[in-house]
């Protein structure tokens, strides 16, 4: 099976712009989670989608949003970019249909730099 | 809510020596536990997981971890490390509490393992 695909791998934006990141999960997986990784805050959960519905959300401002399509591909969007949004954004493809069996497999990430 | 503490931010060790990376967690509900490894400029790779059953879990490359419920720990061990094990290791926990647990892993701050020749 192919792994998790994230595009683009690298992105440079300026403050105030918006950005959209894409994630294609492993075939057959219906759930996707997103995380932000920074040197200062570490790995933080953004949100999770299952069957096109957001089921869980982390403590991020409303500038961070996401969606999932019927083919399980997911996008996340950050509007009005700030310098502090510079980070590695990781998507995880979730195997399993319940918390007792779920296992997350991560993509290579998108490195976002905000200037 | 859950929290994870990785007790060592950096662990230097010589090749072929044993290593233990320590992880403690806190949670008001039952948990599932994971170890991930991250190489430079890459995503996270699943190393091993505890979901149920035997409290001792093993990976294919010689790592093992033991879930200790009374001590709320999930330490990672390897009896003999290789240069190629040099990477950052993350302990993660997911709670079993329905909606607030869906898809959410809580990570420790990571331990950088450096294996010297």
Distance from CA of B102 to the nearest CA of A (A): 6
Residues of B in contact with A90 (CB under 8 A): 43-44
For chain A, how many residues are written? Answer: 115
**Which tokens go with A103?**
């296992």
Distance from CA of A109 to the nearest CA of B (A): 6
pLDDT tens per residue, range A25-45: 999 999 999 999 999 999 999
pLDDT tens per residue, range B59-108: 988 999 999 999 999 999 999 999 999 999 999 999 887 777 788 999 99
A100's CB contacts (< 8 A; 6+ apart) are B32, B51, B52, B96
**Cα separation of A33 and B24, whole Å?**
24
SS3 content of chain A, % helix, strand, coil (to 5): 5, 55, 45
């Amino acid at each position: 099976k192919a792994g998790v695909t994230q595009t683009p791998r690298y992105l440079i934006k300026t403050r105030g712009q918006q950005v959209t990141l894409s994630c294609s999960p492993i075939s057959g997986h219906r759930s996707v989670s997103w995380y932000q990784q920074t040197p200062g805050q570490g790995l933080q959960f953004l949100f999770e989608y299952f069957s096109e519905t957001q089921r869980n959300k982390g403590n991020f401002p409303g500038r961070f949003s996401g969606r999932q399509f019927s083919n399980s591909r997911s996008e996340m969007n950050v509007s009005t970019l700030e310098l502090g949004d510079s980070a590695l954004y990781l998507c995880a493809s979730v195997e399993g249909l319940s918390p007792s069996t779920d296992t997350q497999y991560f993509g290579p990430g998108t490195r976002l730099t905000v200037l | 809510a859950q929290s994870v503490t990785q007790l060592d931010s950096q662990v230097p060790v010589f090749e072929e020596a044993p290593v233990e990376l320590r992880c403690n967690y806190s949670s008001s509900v039952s948990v599932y536990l994971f170890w991930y490894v991250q190489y430079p400029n890459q995503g996270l790779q699943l190393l091993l997981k505890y979901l149920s059953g035997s409290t001792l879990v093993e990976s294919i490359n010689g790592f093992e971890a033991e879930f200790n419920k009374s001590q709320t720990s999930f330490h990672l061990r390897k009896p003999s490390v290789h240069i190629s094990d040099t990477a950052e290791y993350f302990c993660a926990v997911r709670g079993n509490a329905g909606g607030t647990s869906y898809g959410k892993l809580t990570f420790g701050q990571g331990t950088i393992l450096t294996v010297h020749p």
